[in-house]
Structure 1
Amino acid sequence: MPEPTTEAQPQPQGQSQSESQSKRTKRFRAAKACRRCNEKRVKCDAIERGIPCTRCEQGKRNDCALIQSRRGIYQRKKNRNDSQTKTSGSEKEGDKEVVPCASSPPSQRAAASHDNNTVHVQTQDQQENTNSSRNSPNHLSEDEMHSFDALEQAPPSTALTTPASHEIASPGSGDTEMSNSSYREISWTTMFDHFLEGRKHGEAVIDKCSITYLGESFPLSIVLKDLRDGGKQKLHYPGPPCPENDASTDSSQRSRPDHMLPEDIAVLEAKGTFEAPEKSVLDALVSVFLDRVFPLYPIVNRHEFQQQHLMNKIPWILLHAMCFISATYCPLSILHRAGFSSRKQARFLFYRKSKALFDNGYEVNKLVVLQSVIFLTFWGGGPNNYWNFYSWIGTGVTIAETLGIHRSMATTNMKPQDRSLLKRIWWILIIRDTSCAALVGRPFRINLEQCDTDPLTAEDFEHDGNSPDFMSNPQRPSFANYQIQMSKLSLVLREIVNSRFSPQKPNTTSAVLHETLSGWRAQLPHNLRWSDNSTGMNIFSSTLAILYNHHLILTHLNRSQDGTSINSDDISQTAAQRISTMACKIVTKSDVLLMPHELFHGIFLAEVVFYTQMKSAQTMVREFSRAALNNCQMVLHESRESWDPSPWVMQLFDNLLRGAPDAENADMESPTGMAEYAMGATPGFLGAEEANFGYDPWQTHPMLSNLFEMPFDPALMGDGSMFPNLVNFPSVGVLQ
């Protein structure tokens, strides 16, 4: 059958132009490319200039031939939004198969519509997910949020495609140019061709978003002899350029990446991933991010992020991830203004949007994806949910190693601020990996024996620290030193965990580990030092103090004597009591939403110590242990919607305390007792009407009243032999 053409036919006399148009079918011939350009996914001019095309002529190839294409022989609808129904199958027209492509833009159709090669399937599950995801934030039910663990196990609700044209081609060695539409399907050959081509033009400045990393054992590194710079092998090279980001939050100006299929875009639109909070709410969340989150986790270039926000250019996945972490730290009033009924609801919605973009591969900038993934590590997940903080950390490590930021970039030709940013990102990954793995008893995801990233220095924070809007931030003077000390402390924690729980590592004595911790504390800068009896510590010194005592507990808890004079049990108990005291101060100062999440790990471990002490045969020991444990429970109660493990940690100790000794008080069994913690209620709190009549809920609660009423008289201890760890700790168990 001859191929249709678009040449104009002579119009019969006496026949109007409209009648003539109605009698003939409108068809348009699509531009063809030669087979080689089609495989390389690059523009071909064979139609305009004839065979061979310019690229084949430059490559001195004599096999230039046009492909057989049936694409473009029917007219598409002009506006995709005009189509209310989107079909996923194909319609038959005579003996030809015509795939209606929902009138998507030409750039998307070019990547998606290949007749006889693409099969679009929309399942019933996908339709249900699409319909349910149209709900506004106010319509997200509690059941939907509780069922998120089950939803996470389901495959992503994307169209199943088997496009032959999306198979990875093997381009020749001469061409490395590619279009944005092929970026997601970039082949290894294309990447290495770009690398080899770049070597011919000399060393170029490396973009932090696109890096080709070649490890020493990679055969290509071994073959090439000129990869050494000053005797040290080069590892980082410029990668294929990323497409320019145009993720404007203004829907009227927004464009879609060319690599996305129309049905994938439809699913993402149904999930609201292209909807940003209203401007006033978004501005407030960005302000919280810059003021509260950035000093704790500086994984973005502050000035660059602000410029993206002003221009509505923050990538969608990073925008929702930023809103997720800001909703974790922001005051509730901001979320109520946005229409959310709770912090949990807001966090769930932003997390779901960011994860949907991640699952569908919407963002191709690996650095943006890495930054977003680090924020998503603050999602707790569940025991049967494969996507939790541990899996997100593993994903982040994989992306980071792809960029090669686990290796030193000291001699890499890169802007200093970009090199510092990548170094900060890597060390924050180490901190998150170390603390989270130690919390749940899992292996570390980062193998430091394969890494040589340079330690953090004050210079790595100068560019962002000198930002004009950051000058007045109270955390600015200490945030750089805090990150440096946290990175050092994380290495100590790894040594502690490996010495105690690694089957392949030799046991290091508790005395040696204790000395290492003491040496770390002795060299702290002045603005991060603390006294065990001080009350005016900033959030950074408070966090370091709690983590220091957490590490002491982990070093000595249930540890046999090493033949030294150190009493491991006394040290563990004393460290736990100090954590309880500082935790109480955090609550009374309303600083819970300002603290790094690593702090709560220390509170969890302190509760373990107090629970073991409650089994003592001495009544005074049991009472003080219970009071100290209550202090820790109050902190977890305050963080129950921001730190995801808080509810199950509170419920865990609730269940343990039900069978603990000295349970004759029956407050553990009371419906107003510890069980209320897990339900999101404050134990002993009365209603608003009762409170107005002068009731003091803390004083009347049978369990928490001992925080105020229990006297602490060192004279009762005698020489301290009854409870030696409480001597010189007059504030333990008492709110200051």
Structure 2
Amino acid sequence: MSFRRQRASRACETCHARKVRCDAASLGVPCTNCVAFQIDCRIPTPKRKKVQNPGGQTNKDSDSDRDGFEDRQPQPASGTSVNVYDRAPTISHSTEGTPSASKTEAQTRQEEVDSSTYLNLVMKPKFTRAPITEAGRVAFLGESSNLTLLVHDRQGFSDVVHYPLPENIRGSRARLTELDNVEIDILHQRGAFLLPPRSLCDELIDAYFNWVHPIVPVINRTRFMRQYRDSKNPPSLLLLQAVLLAGSRVCTNAQLMDANGSTTPAALTFYKRAKALYDANYEDDRVTIVQSLLLLGWYWEGPEDVTKNVFYWSRVATIVAQGSGMHRSVEQSQLSKSDKRLWKRIWWTLFTRDRSVAVALGRPIHINLDDSDVEMLTEDDFIEDESDRASQFQPNPVHVHFFLHDMALADWLQNCPKTVYWEMPRHHFCGSSYAG
């Protein structure tokens, strides 16, 4: 069954107290802000006498499309609570529950494109040496792939495994036009299109690059900040929400804290927004997806949860990365120099996270270096200079050396889970732990 939201004629108490935009009047109760923080949405009782505001203006940030973020977790206010989710939905069998067997025109057209795309692609001359202008849209063909055999048969042997993804199967950077109304409504309900006020957003991003980025250097900071400052070419919304999530964990701005001084409610909001975008396949740039998945691990509900923690998200990120061929050397590929460096940093970040998480949580390791031929990182791999412009942010030597040593430590740690699980008797391990 479906629920219809009760529409309100004014802002709820929480949004009114925080002086943020409330969509209860347009979307109904509960508003998006209250849903995001999982609190009751209360509409204040109208007084007998109302004072008309002559100006009729509401406070807005200079960048209006960044309004609507809850400054901190609102405290429950007095008044009558309105909650449309008090009653569980009825689950029933009906013909409406049967999936549609018909294809849309877009699906039919896409199938026709997919069936001939790669076959036509490998027939093109100089296919293996075509420049890769978009690092997030790369086709990876392993040596045992049937398509690899066709490429070698047609064009001779090649040590290249990364190819430019064909134009006709590359979606737009933001797939909003491909989502149906239900998916778009879900994203709106989750507040996925909402960002904090510009000043708070700036502070969160600064906190991320100061404290999180040195540990997981998976973003080209120069490129990200250039897009962030360009309203006509902004960064991926998925990646931005993920950066805000990680940044909220290390940012000390009081606007992000609840009554206990915790930023967990704010982090949960960013997590839900980023995850909603990921679940909707909003982003199709594979590098961006890997970057975002890694950062989703900065939210963790608790030790009993196994699907919303760093172990889960780092594994998912690794799977996507391997599907794109990040575990293979890109030195012979046609990626740009800056993208080659970024790919290497992403792969070795995945490796360090894999080993550190396995040891810290007592879990199995995931990445087998026998499957990888990516060269070890060097100090030069942290340079973000591009062919036509120098980097605005030069590598911090302390951060570079830290990560290089962290990578070496992770390589040494890879045998720890194996030794503890299989080679060391349980009583010996426990005894040695207490003996220390």
**TM-score, normalised on structure 1?**
0.43
CA distance in 2, matches of 1:140, 1:258: 34
Q: Is the 8 A contact 2:315 2:366 kept in 1?
A: yes
2:225 aligns with one of 292, 296, 306: 306
Partner of 1:641: none
Give the deviation of 1:133 after TM superposition: 2.1
Q: Is the 8 A contact 1:228 1:234 kept in 2?
A: no
Are 2:293 and 1:391 aligned? no
Partner of 1:286: 205
Return the letter of the residue paired with 1:443: P
Partner of 2:53: none
Partner of 1:580: none
Matches within 5 A, 1:337-376: 342-376=262-296
Q: Is the 8 A contact 1:393 1:445 kept in 2?
A: no
Are 2:72 and 1:133 aligned? no
CA distance in 2, matches of 1:281, 1:340: 20
Shift of the 191–140 alpha-carbon distance from structure 1 to 2, 3 Å rule, reads: farther
- Cα deviation per residue 1:305-332 (whole Å; 9 max; x = unaligned)? 0111101412211111000100111224
Partner of 2:323: 402
CA distance in 2, matches of 1:289, 1:170: 39
1:467 aligns with one of 391, 416, 430: 391
Partner of 2:146: 219
Q: Is the 8 A contact 1:332 1:342 kept in 2?
A: no
Matches within 5 A, 1:498-647: 498-502=418-422, 558=428, 609=433, 612=434
Return the letter of the residue paired with 2:391: S
Partner of 1:413: 334
Give the deviation of 1:341 after TM superposition: 6.0
Matches within 5 A, 1:248-263: 257-263=176-182
Shift of the 387–235 alpha-carbon distance from structure 1 to 2, 3 Å rule, reads: same
CA distance in 2, matches of 1:395, 1:129: 32
Shift of the 456–195 alpha-carbon distance from structure 1 to 2, 3 Å rule, reads: farther
2:137 aligns with one of 200, 210, 219: 210
Give the deviation of 1:168 after TM superposition: 6.0
Partner of 1:272: 191
Shift of the 340–219 alpha-carbon distance from structure 1 to 2, 3 Å rule, reads: farther
CA distance in 2, matches of 1:129, 1:199: 56
Q: Is the 8 A contact 1:431 1:490 kept in 2?
A: yes
Return the letter of the residue paired with 1:461: F
Partner of 2:369: 448
Matches within 5 A, 1:148-163: 162=100
Return the letter of the residue paired with 2:103: A
2:240 aligns with one of 319, 340, 349: 319
Shift of the 222–478 alpha-carbon distance from structure 1 to 2, 3 Å rule, reads: same
CA distance in 1, matches of 2:380, 2:394: 16
Give the deviation of 1:376 after TM superposition: 1.0
**TM-score, normalised on structure 2?**
0.69
Return the letter of the residue paired with 1:307: R
Instruction: Name the SS for the 2:139 alignment partner.
Output: strand
Instruction: Name the SS for the 2:415 alignment partner.
Output: helix
Are 2:417 and 1:497 aligned? yes
Give the deviation of 1:367 after TM superposition: 1.4
Instruction: Name the SS for the 2:136 alignment partner.
Output: coil
CA distance in 2, matches of 1:359, 1:417: 29
CA distance in 2, matches of 1:139, 1:325: 18
Q: Is the 8 A contact 1:302 1:464 kept in 2?
A: no
Instruction: Name the SS for the 1:446 alignment partner.
Output: coil
Instruction: Name the SS for the 1:237 alignment partner.
Output: strand
Q: Is the 8 A contact 1:195 1:238 kept in 2?
A: no
Give the deviation of 1:167 after TM superposition: 4.4
**Structure 1 unaligned runs (5+)?**
1-84, 87-126, 143-158, 177-186, 247-255, 509-556, 561-567, 570-608, 614-724, 726-736
Partner of 2:89: none
**Identity percentage of aligned residues:** 25
Q: Give the structure, 1 or 2, with the largest relative contact order (CA under 8 Å, sep 6 or more).
A: 2
- Tell me the C-alpha RMSD between the 2 structures: 3.7
- Cα deviation per residue 1:672-698 (whole Å; 9 max; x = unaligned)? xxxxxxxxxxxxxxxxxxxxxxxxxxx
CA distance in 1, matches of 2:271, 2:286: 19
Shift of the 168–419 alpha-carbon distance from structure 1 to 2, 3 Å rule, reads: farther
Instruction: Name the SS for the 1:330 alignment partner.
Output: coil
Shift of the 467–224 alpha-carbon distance from structure 1 to 2, 3 Å rule, reads: closer
Give the deviation of 1:470 after TM superposition: 4.5
Give the deviation of 1:456 after TM superposition: 0.7
Give the deviation of 1:171 after TM superposition: 5.5
Return the letter of the residue paired with 1:309: Y
Matches within 5 A, 1:120-199: 133=35, 137=70, 138=72, 162=100, 164-165=103-104, 167=107, 187=114, 189=115, 191-193=117-119, 195-196=121-122, 198-199=124-125
Give the deviation of 1:462 after TM superposition: 1.9
Instruction: Name the SS for the 2:213 alignment partner.
Output: helix
2:300 aligns with one of 380, 384, 388: 380
CA distance in 1, matches of 2:341, 2:126: 28
Return the letter of the residue paired with 2:246: I
Q: Is the 8 A contact 2:277 2:283 kept in 1?
A: yes
CA distance in 2, matches of 1:167, 1:245: 19
1:436 aligns with one of 353, 357, 360: 357
Return the letter of the residue paired with 1:299: V
Instruction: Name the SS for the 2:152 alignment partner.
Output: coil
- Cα deviation per residue 1:70-119 (whole Å; 9 max; x = unaligned)? xxxxxxxxxxxxxxx89xxxxxxxxxxxxxxxxxxxxxxxxxxxxxxxxx
Q: Is the 8 A contact 2:172 2:284 kept in 1?
A: no
Give the deviation of 1:485 after TM superposition: 1.9
1:329 aligns with one of 233, 250, 275: 250
Shift of the 368–140 alpha-carbon distance from structure 1 to 2, 3 Å rule, reads: farther
Are 2:161 and 1:235 aligned? yes
Give the deviation of 1:460 after TM superposition: 0.6
